[in-house]
Structure 1
């Protein structure tokens, strides 16, 4: 058996993945800004009526519809939303924002969405303010 080398830095450049289409997915986009107290308040984060980011990404789908910020129909549309959230805050994030190039950061996210996976990013904007960005896939027919 031959094991071919794997390029861990470039796998996400594969633009042929369309698992999301085969599974009939669309996405729900969410944002949450939490101070340190809210971030550590597990009961509040588990509360399905709360707009605080849940600990488990799929639990976003149990949150109220008012928590949905956008409903992209394609991975590319979801990435445009994510980039629009990222650009205004990346200077606040500091070194963590530049540790990974935007090409790799968004390319990997796009690949994951094309594979039908969720994307979740979390960053501390200040010592006491956490930003949570999530793109959660669903195949439910929840919108007209």
Structure 2
């Protein structure tokens, strides 16, 4: 038995449609935290705070006011993600530019199309503010 080589540079270019079978849409979140909040597990785990949780699916337990966008398709979620990323990219420095945008957003689209959640985090210039971007897949019937 042999295992075919895996193309780590191109796997995400193959379209996926798993999200349709799973009946998903996405809730999109962004949080800015100072260093003290970022390091405070109790605050981040508290479902009543706006602080980004340590576990990505715990965004769904946070107050409704933290929900910034509802995306009906993976493309719409990536469009939201790109807009947020563009707004912080100049302040996020090398961390935000370490991966080429085509690859960064291509992988995001692939992951969301597979039904996988996304969470990105960046320290902004000066290192005192952390930004977290999260896209969490949820069942289509969650709003009604």
TM above 0.5: yes
Segments of structure 1 that go 5 or more residues without pairing to the other structure are: none
Q: Hey, what does 1:141 align to over in structure 2?
A: 141
**Alignment map for 1:1-80 (pairs within 5 Å):** 1-15=1-15, 17-80=16-79
Q: CA deviation at 1:2?
A: 2.3
Q: Distance in 2 between matches of 1:48 and 1:98?
A: 32
Segments of structure 2 that go 5 or more residues without pairing to the other structure are: none
Q: Distance in 2 between matches of 1:110 and 1:62?
A: 24
Q: Hey, what does 2:101 align to over in structure 1?
A: 102
Q: Distance in 2 between matches of 1:99 and 1:34?
A: 22
Q: CA deviation at 1:140?
A: 5.5
1:88 aligns with 2:109: no
Q: CA deviation at 1:76?
A: 0.1
Please give the per-residue CA displacement for 1:98-138, whole angstroms capped at 9, x wherever unaligned: 21100000000000000000000000013100000000001
In structure 1, the residue corresponding to 2:28 is in which secondary structure? Answer: strand
Moved more, 91-100 or 30-39: 91-100
How many aligned positions are there? 143
Q: Distance in 2 between matches of 1:6 and 1:141?
A: 36
Moved more, 102-111 or 92-101: 92-101
Higher-helix-fraction structure: 2
Q: Distance in 2 between matches of 1:10 and 1:96?
A: 22
Q: Point out 4+ residue stretches in structure 1 off by more than 2 angstroms.
A: none
Q: Distance in 1 between matches of 2:28 and 2:54?
A: 16
> RMSD value over aligned CA atoms?
1.0
